[in-house]
Structure 1
Amino acid sequence: MATVEMPRHVDDPPNLMLWRIDDVTPFLILLVIGILINQTMIFIGIGLITVRLYGRFRESRADGYALHGLYWLGLMPMPHRSTPNPFIRRYLP
């Protein structure tokens, strides 16, 4: 039986039963898409493969790497005034 990582600190990502939310999210999104276009079994398979690949990706990177990538692409805006615009790549004096 594989070991299950339980959160030990307050700032650990939230869990849905035994899985981290960021592991379950791609599967649930693909499941909903599969239900909407009436191709559920195909998208369940694609979802399982996506979860496996994302898990490997996440384990080989630092914590918060995916969130930083989303910010860099402009998909996760920050409401703070001190956070710079992600589309400004060069700052001139």
Structure 2
Amino acid sequence: MEEVEMPDYVDSQPQLFFWELDEVIVYVLTMIVGIITRELTIMLIVGFVIVYIFSGWKMKQLDGILAHLSFHWGVLGLNKVFRNGNVKEYVE
């Protein structure tokens, strides 16, 4: 058997410029709210503040916390078997 070199950051979020993907999602959501409410400039500033607070909170949590929260809240399905993240055991 041969040793395989594993990257250090295999579970890390994808980067887009200087933000991770979940931070970009939060910022884009505030931008969309700004477009809908016709207050884009204010929401862009609010988005930077929210992303700053979110990134500080996220550093204390596990990697990909936004994805984990969306699984838990039922926004995203886990996989084909566990469609609801709130199901804690599998019974056939």
Q: TM-score, normalised by structure 1?
A: 0.69
Give the gaps of 5 or more residues in structure 1. 1-7
Offset at residue 64 of structure 1 (A): 2.9
Offset at residue 11 of structure 1 (A): 4.1
Name the residue aligned to 2:19: 19
Whole-angstrom distance in 1 between the partners of 2:47 and 2:88: 34
% identical aligned pairs: 21
Name the residue aligned to 1:80: 80
* Residue aligned with 2:85, SS: coil
**Residues 10, 86 of structure 1: CA spacing in aligned structure 2 closer, same or farther, 3 A cutoff?**
closer
**Residues 62, 87 of structure 1: CA spacing in aligned structure 2 closer, same or farther, 3 A cutoff?**
closer
What's the Cα RMSD here? 2.7
